[in-house]
Structure 1
Amino acid sequence: MIFKTFEADSFEKGLKLVKKEMGPDAIIVSTRTKKPNILKGSFSKKIEIVAAYDDGIYSSPTSSPLLNKSDLSSAKTTGKEYGYFNKERRKHSYSFVNHFSKRNSSEEDENFLTPLFDSYFKNIGDFEKFFKTVGIYEDIIGILISEISPYTSRNYNLSTELKQKAVLNKLSSLINVSSPLTIPENGQRIIALTGPTGVGKTTTIAKIAAEMHFLKGKKVGLVSIDSYRIAATKQLKTYADIMDLELKTAETKRELQKAIKSFSDKELVLIDTAGHSHKNTERIKEINEMLKNILNIETWLLIAASTKTEDALNIVNEHLAIGLSGMIYTKLDETSSYETLFNTSLVSGLPVFYFTTGQEVPQDIEEASAKKIVNSLFNKFINNNFNYKTLEN
């Protein structure tokens, strides 16, 4: 692995230098702000970026699917259209530089101490133990090992800190996190939220509506097609009244089309769908019939963070017929273990837009963070091992 240090007036300019000289697959291993050195004629602060690039000792990952169709079927996912294992998904997967360029240099620090990293991860076998211990989906462990093995090799002789950052960044880069919700100039986005009963669709719609309307000044219209739960429509009506937003209800496809057409002056239209079990295929078909063939509509699937991986993959699989455009993970405040988020993100390949962290509207929502998911896995592993060793003593 080749390392190089870059200096620039800003983080953005530094990233451009890294991309220009080392390409989009370079790894950002560290950044720091250098104070002015008046004695050397430097009167302004500089940003120092240390980057690394694989010089070819290890072959790059294949662009062909890493799981065959039968494997993906057992994983309860599509195989062709979605997934980190899909050719197009891998082709467009985040590089380290692109991942960092979308976040500033004040990215949240890792939540475990660097010295512990070498204590628990002495060789690649320890990483396999880690993945199994924290509940990573068995079929992808071998793939993850091959992805991180270059950065754990003694041939690279990385320091503990650089090794830790490289592994964290690599695992984070595999999660398809979307940029914040934006509205094209003179355009409109129509987004329907779907998912199991009790996952928090109605409150999530209210949170997104509040953010886009009050913080970003967008014109927002709300539609409810949940004819099964009168309470849900009343709840959304209450939020709409508080935010002074227009709410329309629709029980048929024609009524939905009419409602959307009436919101032609709105920049964002949010649609609340009926909650259901992922096993209720008839209800899912009803939602699909309501939403399909509506021009430019996006469908985001909501999954609670406390859902078991197998159930989450089943939920994704059963909703694929609707034509999913992205995901939101809800109720992160109810669990500190995010292996389901990691597994579902990698297997589905769907972009993740938001996390919700409580019931409060509008504050309990945040942009999705791949690092938050990955850090939680390491924290879980180290805490479990620490508690185990304490019991032994």
Structure 2
Amino acid sequence: MKTPISSSEPREPRGWRSRPRVTDLLVAAAYTAPALAAATAFSGGGTEAPGLVLQCLAVVVSGIGLVFRRLAPMSSLAATAVIMLITFSVPASFATVATAMALYAVGVYRSARHAVVSLLGTSAILLVAAVLQPLSMVDLGQAVQAIAVLVIATLSGLNVRTRRRYVSALVDRADRLTREREHLDSIAAAAERNAIAREMHDIVSHGLAVMISLAHGSAEIASTDPARAVHAMRQVAETGRVAVTDMRRMLGVLNEGDTEGNTAELAGAAQPSPGVGDIPDLLGLFRSAGLPVALQSAGVPPADPGIQLAIYRVVQEGLTNALKYARAATAVTVRTEFSPKTILVSVTDDGHPEVAPADHAGRGVAGMRERVALCGGTLRAGPLTSGGWSVTARFPPQEESPWQR
């Protein structure tokens, strides 16, 4: 599998763009070599004539100017334009080509304003030299043809510059979208991790708290009441089985896209999630662990399985905390109220709250608050003025509740 390239890594230019200096040298050589050959061929064989030397020198100067067309396009244009005016009437002069190449570079590497001003200035100099100085070495007809070539070169440069800016904008937009997608993926991954951690806490913390309480109780009464101790240990086993079933359900949901996954986990995922109807059994389990819990319920619960699971987890976490931290509790009340205005769930005890360990404090309450917030509700947890502890969750009424039909 190939490792994907991060969007934060800069894209390196490829091909000839990766070596601009070499490209500029090749462009200058592509102009200089034919121009020197043409100057030598049309010199009439007089290789020692001063005119040939000056013409070759002019070609070399134009070629040198083209070497710097990328770094200093305006200076390159000035050098080639001067050579063009001097050697315009020379037969087989390539000076107009050099000026056109320099104007193309201005259009690509400088702004559109610089390109237009440069084209107008060069064209104006040619026309002035041809019209106001009829006896000069610039011919009007040739000047018009040269201007046409310069216009084409300038427009080509501007077109290339526009296309590069458009491509660069597309690349920047693609990079920005990639970064945004990676950011959203990281947010989604963090949300999934929080959800998994919340489920793991609810399952493991609840199961272990009940199992520890039952095991401790069975050890205390084993010598005096073996039958009750055996019954308590069987409840420990049943609690562990339920916790394993919940764990398999969660793992099965995580692996639901894996057709080659564990069949036991997939079978656990097919089982329905606990809801309001499972709260009486949950209370019975806590009663067997020694918690004096009572249920007060009113109204018809909503049909949404997500809301029902949230309600069940709030009751489960509230009872688990009461079992672990409420000392000398004589009454624990679970109240559920389902009405057209609100859905209320509370767990209240009259015990003396113990301080949770620093490395575990608040994890259960934070998980409950996150779960309730995902359903659009609010949660309050804290001590009561009369003593004890209370956890209260409120959910908004559901649009398809039975009392709204």
Query: Structure 2-normalised TM-score?
Result: 0.17
Higher relative contact order (CA 8 A, sep 6+): 1
Query: Structure 1-normalised TM-score?
Result: 0.18
More strand by share: 1
